[in-house]
Chain A
Amino acid sequence: MAGSTLEIKDLHVEIEGEEILKGVNLTINGGEFHAVMGPNGTGKSTLASAIMGHPKYEITKGEVLLDGEDVLEMEVDERAQAGLFLAMQYPSEISGVTNSDFLRSSINAQREEGNEIPLMQFIKEMDKTMDQLEIDKNMAQRYLNEGFSGGEKKRNEILQLMMLKPAIGVLDEIDSGLDIDALKVVSQGINQMRDDKFGCLIITHYQRLLDYITPDHVHVMMQGRVVKSGGPELAQRLEAEGYDWIKEELGIDDETVGQKA
């Protein structure tokens, strides 16, 4: 079997009583890279967080299935163990827990008891991946995200992605706050994950990430729904012409949803 399938069906999500997602449908298969684009405040990040089980978001309707299993019934850790990964836009800082201890705990949490990753193997893999992402070695012993710059946090999310090797990765604005050099490095890391066992949902505000990572499918979100889907050429048109033509085409006045999303 070639990887996993994540199906999002008619997903409705509320935050503090306000509906942000109003029926999202998407299917991501192993081997596919999907980009979800759209202006600010259209529900993109809500989609990412809701898939992973963010405590603030309430699912009011719809389904999320991973290989047919009901993801919404799972606890957050069970979702990760089932193969989902969310690279967060704003990762938490956790004092007193070193990056390397956290990463090792994460890897071991997804392995059978008694089958923990040998320490030397872990260190080797981490060193190698940190080199690829041009991450300073001392970050391994720093506290998790504490005092990290925006760029360091993003690289750290991709480090985790590469080490944990999930079936489906959801990347929430992984490009924001990265300069062009960092963007290239991070993109290389993500591209290296590409194989038929890995599916990826890339949420981005900017086309520029897609200059380095070519998506197979591009979706545009407005007003809490996917309003247009296409191939990589859609992203290129968006870069050239912006979003107004879609709004015009669909008769949308204000593309945002809720107060802010």
Chain B
Amino acid sequence: MAVETHLPYDKQYVTEYSEKRNEPTWFKDIRLKAFDLAEELPMPKLEKTRIRNWNFTNFKHDVAGNNIESFDELPEKIRVLRGEGVEDRNLIVVRNSDVAYAKLSENLKAKGVIFEDIFTAMEEHSDLVQKYFMQDGVSVDENKLTARHAALLNSGVFLYVPKNVVVDEPIQVVFWQEDNEAALYNHVLLVADQHSQVTYVENYVSNNEEEETVANTVSEVFALDGAKVSYGAVDNFAKGTTSYVNRRGTVGRDATLEWALGQMNDGNTISENITNLMGDNSLSHAKAVTVGRGNQSQDFTANIRHYGKDSEGYILQHGVMKDRASSIFNGIGKVENGATRSNAEQESRVLMLSEGARGDANPILLIDEDDVTAGHAASVGRVDPLQLFYLMSRGISQQEAERLVIHGFLDPVVREIPIETVQKQLREVIEGKVY
């Protein structure tokens, strides 16, 4: 049976959906234009991963999620992501595609911080959202899936930190796909204005082992001149979800963007993390870990493009593959002409735990400038028997020794996740996936 490649929704549906949400005209126009583009544009081109048979069209688009009276009504697996004793955490919980819980401190509100769902933001801060939404970050017309994203957007968060505002407490969002067939067309728009600082952490959670659906998520992050953004994420979609994840950063002069991504989906996944170092003296670390299991196929790209002088980009990807899982890790460092004295470094390592698993690390350096430093390291291998020998020679069992080596292998990224409870949950997810 051929896989259905056409969406089960037409243009009329998109128009009605937009009107139902009272969206501003500019956004409705983007949706409709995107709908047409989605018909014409090709799927994203992946060198080494075949996506022809992946499900991108079977899903329910509009599934409501109930609001809650208090945080305690949420199930435990969601509550633990925030943890106890942090009732004042600035947090949004998105249930299916609706906001179920939202909290932002009066202090931050008073400072002009905006933290709300993207539909509310389009109403209340239309100009600001319009200025950044799919303009300089991810474009609508990159491929069929970015166009579908804009056409069918059904969820999202807008975070704006005004100039010179330093947000000390982390800001957290939990995207919880309670409904097993609900699709998530989610857009995170994070703008850190000049010389501001913010730490943002997001979790994606679903449970659809059997039912199929789609997650098509885009994050656009702008660290304007002098800003510092720390962006942590744990993607944990269940086996039935096909994911297309786009995280894109734009980094201004003297600005910093730190990514720490736990890519723990159980379904087929395309995940692309691109950072554009536009400003002089800009800096980014793109760190990601993944564990593949079962029959899942995944394609990861970490790409840092240097435009500004003295810009520094560091890519670190560590993956563990077991069962018959396969993953491609593309690491791309691109230095544009004029980005003098830039430094592009990358490291991709894959640890294979079973015979049937597959992992490829493809380091790519594209350099159009003479005065640069660049380096890459890539490896695909098994757990080192000498490491196991060493640990076991102290009485540690083989299973525990392997566990230590694997956690150690993933730890350089895990420990960078900014919120401790999320870090702990990520460790548990890893534990659950590896054993």
State whether the Cβ of B385 lies closer than 8 Å to any Cβ in chain A.
Answer: yes
Interface string of B157-201 (1 = CB under 8 A from A): 000000000000000000000000000000000000000000000
Contact: A106 with B395, CB < 8 Å? yes
State whether the Cβ of B393 lies closer than 8 Å to any Cβ in chain A.
Answer: yes
Interface residues of B in 24-67 (CB under 8 A from A): none
Please, which residues of chain A bring their CB within 8 A of the CB of B398?
A: 75, 77
Stretch at the interface among A10-18, A31-39, A85-93: A85-93
Q: How far is the CA of A160 from the CA of B394 in the complex (A)?
A: 8
State whether the Cβ of A110 lies closer than 8 Å to any Cβ in chain B.
Answer: yes
How many positions in chain A have a CB within 8 Å of any CB in the partner chain? 27
Contact: A96 with B390, CB < 8 Å? no
Please, which residues of chain B bring their CB within 8 A of the CB of A80?
A: 392-396
State whether the Cβ of A55 lies closer than 8 Å to any Cβ in chain B.
Answer: yes
Contact: B392 with A76, CB < 8 Å? yes
Please, which residues of chain A bring their CB within 8 A of the CB of B384?
A: 92
Contact: B393 with A86, CB < 8 Å? yes
Please, which residues of chain A bring their CB within 8 A of the CB of B390?
A: 88, 91-92, 94
State whether the Cβ of B132 lies closer than 8 Å to any Cβ in chain A.
Answer: no
Please, which residues of chain A bring their CB within 8 A of the CB of B3?
A: none
State whether the Cβ of B294 lies closer than 8 Å to any Cβ in chain A.
Answer: no
Please, which residues of chain A bring their CB within 8 A of the CB of B393?
A: 52-53, 76-77, 79-80, 85-86, 88
Contact of B395 among A88, A92, A96, A110 (CB under 8 A): A110
- A109 and chain B: residue at smallest CB distance: B395
Contact: A97 with B392, CB < 8 Å? no
* B contact patch SS: helix
State whether the Cβ of B112 lies closer than 8 Å to any Cβ in chain A.
Answer: no
Contact: A96 with B392, CB < 8 Å? no
State whether the Cβ of B407 lies closer than 8 Å to any Cβ in chain A.
Answer: yes
Q: How far is the CA of A94 from the CA of B385 in the complex (A)?
A: 12
Size category of the B interface is 20 to 34
Determine which residue in B385, B394, B397, B401 has the highest number of CB atoms from chain A within 10 A of its CB, and name it. B394
Q: How far is the CA of A152 from the CA of B392 in the complex (A)?
A: 21
State whether the Cβ of A81 lies closer than 8 Å to any Cβ in chain B.
Answer: yes
Stretch at the interface among B215-223, B257-265, B330-338, B409-417: B409-417
Interface string of A63-104 (1 = CB under 8 A from B): 000000000000111011100011010011011110000100
Contact: A105 with B404, CB < 8 Å? yes
Given A55-B385, A55-B386; A96-B396 close (CB under 8 Å): no
State whether the Cβ of B400 lies closer than 8 Å to any Cβ in chain A.
Answer: yes
- B407 and chain A: residue at smallest CB distance: A96
Contact: A95 with B409, CB < 8 Å? yes
Interface string of A150-187 (1 = CB under 8 A from B): 00000000001000100000000000000000000000
Contact: A94 with B395, CB < 8 Å? no
Contact: A94 with B400, CB < 8 Å? no
Contact: B389 with A55, CB < 8 Å? yes
Contact: A106 with B396, CB < 8 Å? yes
Contact: B391 with A102, CB < 8 Å? yes
Please, which residues of chain B bring their CB within 8 A of the CB of A94?
A: 387, 390-391, 404-405, 408
Contact: B396 with A95, CB < 8 Å? no
State whether the Cβ of A143 lies closer than 8 Å to any Cβ in chain B.
Answer: yes
- Would you list the 3 A-B pairs with minimal beta carbon distance, nearest first? A96-B408, A96-B411, A106-B394
- Residue contacts A-B, CB under 8 angstroms, 18 given: A53-B389, A53-B393, A76-B392, A76-B393, A77-B397, A80-B396, A81-B395, A92-B387, A95-B412, A96-B407, A97-B405, A105-B394, A105-B400, A106-B395, A109-B395, A109-B396, A109-B400, A143-B408
> Which B residues are closer than 8 A to A by beta carbons?
384-398, 400-401, 404-405, 407-412
16 new A-B contacts, CB < 8 A, other than A102-B404, A110-B395, are A52-B389, A53-B393, A55-B389, A77-B392, A77-B401, A79-B393, A80-B395, A88-B393, A95-B408, A95-B409, A96-B411, A97-B404, A105-B400, A105-B404, A109-B395, A160-B394
